[in-house]
Structure 1
Amino acid sequence: MSIKVVELFAGVGGFRLGLEGWNGKSASSNYTKDLKSNYEVVWSNQWEPSTSIQHANLVYKDKWQGANHCGDDIDTIASNEVSDTKVDSNIPDHDLLVGGFPCQDYSVAGVNTNGIEGKKGVLWWNIHRILEVKRPKFILLENVDRLLKSPVNKRGRDFAILLATLSDLGYDVEWKVINAADYGMPQRRRRVFIFGAHKASGLTIEEGVDWISQNSVLGKSFPSQIKGDRKAFELKGSAVEISNDFVHGKFYNCGSMVGRNILTFDYTPKPDNNINYSDFGSLKDVLIDHGKVGDEFFVDSKKVLKTPIIKEQKPSISLSYLQMNSRDEAVLLTELDKWKYLKGRKAEKRVSSKGAFYYTEGPLSLSDDINLPSRTIITSEGGSGASRFKHLVELEKDVLYRRLTPLELERLNMFPDNHTKHERVTDAKRAFFMGNALVVGIVERIGVVLSKCIKESQDKSALQHLSESEN
């Protein structure tokens, strides 16, 4: 059984690694054990707007040399301005469409002769266009979890538009917000995964709490049980009407849509103890020997700034890691002081056109607990500059710390070591890739379960056909 895949918004290939593995090995084993995969990526696309050098494409093409990979703007390949015939010829036939698309404003402007008219530059409509023409049996998409409650002034509207348009194309859908760390993976990273099956695919998506929690593709992949209230309603109206008048509020962290019937609820994770979701489970597991780390990653209290930095504070404030002088000022003398200041409690005096005010922030831990899964990687993780949100590992308290290397960031997302290393790609850009990437182990687990579900569905269909022919 071969499952042909199209990968959109491919980045540096997280979906592909999860489905195909790397050199036949699995992400869950840190690429030491075999992964028997039925998946074949037959076409992929990655294009970053507003940049002259397509760095992600450089990495992708380097890792999958000879792959049918396209680096053109997806709007020129599949949009309302491209005919059905052209879209069909641009993109190969496939069984499964995957992609991590941006969270944007999905509001519908109207419907014209070319189909639904969404806001220009919103990439969901490119996915919709491909589904409209190609009708793959399955879809697996990834997004930030705020998609379920966006926009602020009409909670849940954006996700409702996605669900309605998928239903109109013949897909039933299930979704689940998955925190990788809840299932033994080394990073606390929450993302919503959306799985859809076309009504003609032979794979059935059902309603019901138990089915969604334990027996669906996502439920079997990441078992759970209901927590709190549930919400059920029918998603009525056209995409335009839903865009204008959606009133049901935010969607919960998992659920299903069968036809236009919605069931959604929050859940408590219930990992299967018989499954090894990842060989790496904490920050400590991904760290390399400190002696092999370049000097640029170390933050040393002995590194004195050329010019002290003075930050005036509200008199009543108590700083977390620094002392104020008699003039209620934080005085930063070393490189480490900058990190302490940014990560600590503060009430910094600032001046705007309306006058002086105090900008306040609460305290964060100066260093990360290496015995726990890491905090979420962000796109600004790279670069040597001090930051409130970058990771720091403590080597000697109040004396020596270090940032995470690109290789360690790759491991936190369960990529192969040095997957993003390229002569034209900086360490900061490599960190940016990982801030945008998904946790590969999640895709791998879903892929394994989906493959089994497809086979079971095909076997059931074959038996039914045999029985009917005998009768």
Structure 2
Amino acid sequence: MTLTALDLFSGAGGFSLGLKQAGVSVAGSVEADRFAASTYKRNFSSSVVANRSVEECSDRWLRSHFSDVDIVAGGPPCQGFSVAGPLQYGRLDARNALVLEMARVVKCVRPRFAVLENVRGILSGKLSGARMALDAYLASLQEARYFSTVVRLQAADFGVPQLRERVFVISSRDEDALKAFEPLIQRRKLSRLASSVCFGDLPTLNPGEGTDEVVPYPRAAQNKYQLLMRRSSSGVANHVAMKHTPRMLARLAVIGHGDSMKDVSSEHGQRKRNSGLIDAGQRYKMNCTRINPKRPSISVPANFQTIHVHPHQHRMLTAREGARLQGFPDSFVFTGPRTLMSRKLLEREGRTDEIGLSQYNQIGNAVPPPLARAIGETLLELCDEF
């Protein structure tokens, strides 16, 4: 059986890629960010790619393009549900309401399945006052006679060399099929991979070296994971190392596996703002965390260029190395700026045309393709059994 899917808030296309690998035909995507949409178009040339917000997609337009899709998948912006977002300051994020936009699309095109992905914070996230975002989403789909189940999945259990737990809300009009989803996907669990599987066959880089263009592999693949990442690829792209100051290089040189900024001595610590003085009391737990090659990596977030230190080289990860930790094959090329200044600084300088998602952002925001593949394969199995 062949299923077709629509990917909302698609970003670069991690969810779409996993579904495609599972055997699902991806009819199209909706993504507001122009850089992420450009990456999506580069890698899914035969799909309809709408570079606009989901709110701008009218019911009429949706029905005209996607009335026959079997799956609506989507990961609405998670910042408002994340402890690293506005929530840490006690503020609600207006983007939380986009979960209801996903519900609107599902009710409009009426797919066989809907799959919403988000961080754990969505379980307690709010729209306003005491109104819970997830409860509102579930109630909206229930009005359209959809049943739903909420599952928490760990990416490391599905072939991703990274610890990354996410919440998935699976909805269907077939209650019996829905009840079988979690038992079936649990059967797809694999042995966890150490992060070392991602490295070793890629070009060795010093800070500031590398290119976005495709370059040949310098050595043979050293394990099955590297062979999988190389499939259909003639070489490596998006492999550019960040430049580092002498002070940063000295700091990185003393950070051991699994250690981070909080573990270095005061001479390598954080400087006081607008001062050359060392702030002996300032420590950021996650900044400059050197990956332990013997374990799955810590989660890869949108700002991983300031967090993950290469396990063996004294530099932060390249975009390609982050993509490997997410399970993107080397044939998947990311477009747009490699890094970007903060939105506030860009707006202050009037450079609003440069605002968007960098390659690092696109990678960190994505659903890991191997996890999405496991979900797609499970949905196909449900269709065969029910």
Q: Same fold (TM over 0.5)?
A: yes
Aligned CA RMSD, in angstroms, stands at 3.6
SS across alignment from 1:41: strand
Structure 2 residues not aligned, in runs of 5+: 82-92, 210-240, 274-278, 341-357
**Residue of 60, 73, 80 corresponding to 1:98:** 73
**2:49 maps to amino acid:** H
Q: CA 1:394–1:128 in structure 2 vs 1: closer, same or farther (change >3 Å)?
A: closer
SS across alignment from 2:28: strand
Write the distance in 1 (CA, Å) between the matches of 2:203 and 2:4: 44
Q: Is the 8 A contact 1:203 1:454 kept in 2?
A: no
Q: How do residues 144-159 of structure 1 correspond to structure 2 at under 5 angstroms?
A: 144-151=119-126, 157-159=132-134
**2:69 maps to amino acid:** H
Question: Is 1:337 the equivalent of 2:317?
Answer: no
Q: Is the 8 A contact 1:139 1:196 kept in 2?
A: yes
Question: Is 1:71 the equivalent of 2:38?
Answer: no
Name which one, 1 or 2, has greater alpha-carbon Rg: 1
- Correspondence for 2:212: none
Q: Is the 8 A contact 1:340 1:366 kept in 2?
A: no
Write the distance in 2 (CA, Å) between the matches of 1:157 and 1:184: 32
Q: Is the 8 A contact 1:87 1:130 kept in 2?
A: yes
Write the distance in 1 (CA, Å) between the matches of 2:245 and 2:64: 61
| Shift, 1:86, TM fit | 4.7
Write the distance in 1 (CA, Å) between the matches of 2:48 and 2:250: 47
Q: Is the 8 A contact 1:344 1:366 kept in 2?
A: no
* Comparing 440-449 and 426-435, the one that deviates more: 426-435
| Shift, 1:196, TM fit | 0.5
- Correspondence for 2:195: 283
| Shift, 1:193, TM fit | 0.9
Percent identical among aligned pairs is 22
Q: How do residues 209-358 of structure 1 correspond to structure 2 at under 5 angstroms?
A: 216-222=180-186, 272=187, 277=190, 281-289=193-201, 291-296=203-208, 305=246, 335-337=249-251, 343-344=261-262
Q: Is the 8 A contact 1:406 1:418 kept in 2?
A: no
Q: Which has the higher contact order (CA 8 A, sep 6+)?
A: 2
**Residue of 414, 418, 434 corresponding to 2:363:** 434
| Shift, 1:148, TM fit | 0.4
Write the distance in 1 (CA, Å) between the matches of 2:309 and 2:95: 40
Q: CA 1:145–1:73 in structure 2 vs 1: closer, same or farther (change >3 Å)?
A: same
| Shift, 1:403, TM fit | 2.0
Write the distance in 2 (CA, Å) between the matches of 1:156 and 1:294: 50
Q: CA 1:359–1:149 in structure 2 vs 1: closer, same or farther (change >3 Å)?
A: farther
Of Structure 1 and Structure 2, the greater helix share is in 2
Write the distance in 1 (CA, Å) between the matches of 2:106 and 2:29: 15
Write the distance in 2 (CA, Å) between the matches of 1:376 and 1:445: 19
Of Structure 1 and Structure 2, the greater strand share is in 1
Structure 1 residues not aligned, in runs of 5+: 22-34, 49-53, 79-83, 107-117, 207-215, 223-271, 306-332, 352-356, 458-471
Write the distance in 1 (CA, Å) between the matches of 2:291 and 2:119: 23
CA deviation digits over 1:302-333, x for unaligned, max 9? x874xxxxxxxxxxxxxxxxxxxxxxxxxxx5
How many residues of Structure 1 are paired with residues of Structure 2 in the alignment? 314
The TM-score, its normalising length taken from structure 1, stands at: 0.58
